[in-house]
A and B are shown apart, each in its own frame.
Chain A
Amino acid sequence: MERWSELELHGWGRYPRLRSACTRPERVSEVHAALADRGADPLLAHGLGRSYGDAALLEGGKVVLTRRLDRMLDFDPATGWVRCEAGVSIEDLVNTFLPRGFFPPVVPGTQFVTLGGAIANDIHGKNHHVDGTFCDHIRRVELLTAAGAVVVCDADHEPELFWATVGGLGLTGLILSCELKLVPVAGPLIEMESVRVENLDHFFAVSAESAAFTHTVSWIDCVARGKSMGRGIFMRGRHAAAGAQASPGVLGGVIDAVSPLMQVPMDAPNWLMNKLTMRLFNEAYYRKQPHGTTAQISHYAPFFFPLDFVRDWNRVYGDRGLLQYQLVVPPDPQHRAIRQVLEAITETGMGSFLAVIKEFGDRAHPGLSFPQPGVTLALDFPNHGRPLLDLLDRLDRVVLDAGGRVYLGKDARLSRAAFEQMYPDLDRWRGVRDRWDPQHVFQSSLGRRLGLSGVRR
Chain B
Amino acid sequence: MSVLILGATSRIAQQLAHRFGEAGHAIFVAARDADEAARIAADVAVRYRVPTASAGFDARAFEGHPAFVADVEAQLGALEVAIIAFGDMGAGPTADFADAHRVIDVNFTGAASIAEAVATVMEARGDGSIIGLTSVAGDRGRQSNYVYGSAKGAFGLYLQGLRNRLFSKGVHVMTVKLGFVDTRMTFGMETGLPVASPEAVSRALFRAWERREDALYYPRFWGGIMGVIKAIPERIFKRLSL
Residues of A whose CB lies within 8 Å of any CB of B are 1-2, 4-7, 22-24, 26-29, 68, 71-75, 82, 85, 96
Q: Which residues of B contact A4 (CB under 8 A)?
A: 188
Identify the closest chain A residue to B188 (Cβ). Answer: A5
Task: Answer yes or no: B40 CB below 8 A from chain A CBs.
Answer: yes
Cβ of B46 and Cβ of A73 under 8 Å apart?
yes
B36 & A28 in contact (Cβ 8 Å cutoff): yes
Q: Within 8 Å CB of A72, what residues of B?
A: 42-43, 46-47
- B18 CB, min distance to chain A CBs, angstroms: 11
Contacting residue for B46 out of A6, A22, A27, A75, CB 8 A? A75
Asked whether A26 and B46 contact (CB < 8 A) given A1-B185, A5-B187, the answer is no
Complex-state Cα separation, A1 to B88, whole angstroms: 12
Q: Are A73 and B36 in contact (CB under 8 A)?
A: no
**Contact A73-B184, Cβ < 8 Å, known A1-B89, A68-B11, A96-B47:** no
Interface centre among A1, A4, A85, by most chain B C-beta atoms within 10 angstroms, is: A1
Known interface pairs A71-B43, A72-B42, A74-B42; A29-B188 also in contact (CB < 8 Å): no
Asked if B184 and A26 sit within 8 Å, CB to CB, the answer is yes
* B interface residue numbers (CB < 8 A to A): 9-11, 14, 33, 35-36, 39-40, 42-43, 46-47, 89, 183-185, 187-189
Q: A1-B185, A26-B184, A28-B39 are in contact. List 18 more A-B contacts (CB 8 A).
A: A2-B188, A4-B188, A22-B188, A23-B187, A24-B184, A24-B187, A26-B9, A26-B11, A27-B9, A27-B33, A27-B36, A29-B33, A71-B39, A72-B47, A73-B42, A74-B42, A74-B46, A82-B46
Q: Shortest Cβ distance from A55 into chain B, in angstroms?
A: 23
Q: How far is the CB of B174 from chain A (nearest CB, A)?
A: 24
The smallest C-beta distance from B35 to any residue of chain A, in angstroms, reads: 7
Instruction: Give the 10 A-B residue pairs with the shortest CB-CB distance, closest first.
Output: A5-B188, A71-B43, A72-B46, A75-B46, A73-B42, A27-B36, A71-B39, A72-B43, A24-B187, A26-B11
Q: How far is the CB of B56 from chain A (nearest CB, A)?
A: 13
- Are B47 and A73 in touch, CB under 8 angstroms? no
CA distance A68 to B39 in the complex (A): 13
Q: Please name the residue on chain B nearest to A73 by beta carbon.
A: B42
Q: Contacts A5-B187, A29-B33 given: A71-B11 contact, CB under 8 Å?
A: no
Chain A residues positioned under 8 Å from B184 (CB to CB):
1, 24, 26
CB-based nearest B residue for A72: B46
With a cutoff of 8 Å between Cβ atoms, the chain B residues found around residue A6 in the complex are 188
Report Cα–Cα, A2/B184, bound state, in Å.
Answer: 9
Task: List A contacts of B42 (CB < 8 A).
Answer: 71-74
In the complex, chain A residues whose CB is within 8 Å of the CB of B33: 27, 29
Q: How far is the CB of A83 from chain B (nearest CB, A)?
A: 9
Q: 13 interchain pairs (CB within 8 A)?
A: A5-B188, A6-B188, A22-B188, A23-B187, A26-B183, A28-B35, A28-B39, A29-B33, A72-B46, A73-B42, A73-B43, A74-B46, A82-B46
- Contact B39 A73, beta carbon cutoff 8 Å: yes
Shortest B116–chain A CB gap in Å is: 28
- Hey, which chain A residues are within 8 Å of B43, CB to CB? 71-73
Counting chain B CB atoms within 10 Å of each CB, the highest count among A6, A29, A71, A72 belongs to A71
Chain A contacts of B10 at CB under 8 A? 26
Once bound together, how far apart are the Cα atoms of A7 and B187, in whole Å?
11
Closest residue of A by beta carbon distance from B190: A5
- Residues of chain B within 8 A (CB-CB) of A27 are 9, 33, 36
In the complex the two chains form, is A7's CB within 8 Å of B39's CB?
no
Select from chain A the residue with minimum beta-carbon distance to B46. Answer: A72
Whole-angstrom distance between the Cβ of A216 and the nearest chain B Cβ: 33
Query: In the complex, how many angstroms separate the beta carbon of A257 from the nearest chain B beta carbon?
Result: 23
Chain B residues, Cβ within 8 Å of A5: 187-189
For B46, list chain A residues within 8 Å (CB): 72-75, 82, 96
Question: How distant is the Cα of A6 from the Cα of B190 in the complex, in angstroms?
Answer: 12
Q: Which residues of chain B are within 8 angstroms of A7 by Cβ–Cβ distance?
A: 188
How far, in whole Å, are A332 and B36 apart by their CA atoms in the complex? 53
Q: Tell me whether B39 and A29 are in contact (CB under 8 A).
A: no
Roughly how many angstroms separate A20 CA and B89 CA in the complex, as a whole number? 27
Residues of A near B188 (CB, < 8 A) are 2, 4-7, 22
Give the docked Cα–Cα distance between A454 and B220 (Å): 49
Bound complex: CA A2 to CA B188 (Å):
9
Q: Cβ of A71: which chain B residues have Cβ within 8 Å of it?
A: 39-40, 42-43
What B residues does A1 contact at CB under 8 A? 89, 184-185
How far is it, in angstroms, between the C-alpha of A255 and the C-alpha of B11 when the chains are bound? 32
Q: CA separation between A213 and B47, bound complex, in Å?
A: 31
Give the CA-CA distance A27 to B189 in the complex, in Å.
20
| Chain A residues within an 8 Å CB radius of B11 | 26, 68
Across the interface, which residues of A come within 8 angstroms of B183, CB to CB? 26
Min CB–CB distance A169 → chain B (angstroms): 25
Query: A2 to B9, alpha carbons, bound, how many Å?
Result: 19
**Least CB separation from A82: chain B residue:** B46
Q: Give the docked Cα–Cα distance between A23 and B187 (Å).
A: 8
Closest A residue by C-beta to B92: A1
The listed residue with most A CB atoms (<10 A of its CB), out of B10, B183, B187, B188, is B187
* Complex Cα gap A369–B183 (Å): 35
A23 and chain B: residue at smallest CB distance: B187
A50 CB → nearest B CB, Å? 20
Residues of B close to A2: CB separation below 8 A: 188
Separation of A2 and B92 alpha carbons in the complex (Å): 13
Please name all residues of chain B whose beta carbon is closer than 8 Å to the beta carbon of A28 when the two chains form the complex. Answer: 35-36, 39
In the bound assembly, the distance between CA atoms of A141 and B222 in angstroms comes to 44
How far, in angstroms, from A152 to B40 measured CA to CA in the complex?
A: 20
Name B42's closest neighbour in chain A (CB-CB).
Answer: A73
Centre residue among B89, B184, B189 by max chain A CB count within 10 A: B184
